[in-house]
Amino acid sequence: MSITLVVPGPLRDLTGGRSAIGLDVDEGTVGDAFAALKRENPALYDRIFTERKELRPHVNVFVGAADIRWSGGLATPLDGAKEVVVLPSVSGG
């Protein structure tokens, strides 16, 4: 299957300016989608995940409207969703 990863503005230097990129995903979880991202665009993956393969603390990932922190994290099934959205969280001061 193919899904669309929506990329926030500060990371678009890593996508040639595109706001979204397509990913071929063999299986059906958010983790699978990011594994595909790591293969296809490791520099972008590195901005979203740490070397420990943990989602950076102030980065949110949504499948549809659901924040994956509350729906199983990287094990969240894509369940037919076409779009995964990466957004910076609300923080700072």
Residues that bind another protein (CB under 8 A): 10-11, 13-14, 43-44, 46-48, 50-54, 56, 58-59, 88-89, 91-92
Query: Nearer to another protein by C-beta: 27 or 46?
Result: 46
Phi-psi sector, 64: left (phi>0), alpha (psi -120 to 50), beta: left
Query: Measured from the CB of residue 77, what is the shortest distance to another protein in angstroms?
Result: 25
Question: Whose Cβ is closer to another protein: residue 53's or residue 69's?
Answer: 53
**84 touches 33 (CB < 8 A):** yes
CA dist., res. 17 & res. 36, Å (int) = 20
Query: What is d(CA 91, CA 2) in angstroms, rounded to the nearest whole number?
Result: 32
Nearer Cβ to another protein, position 6 or 59? 59
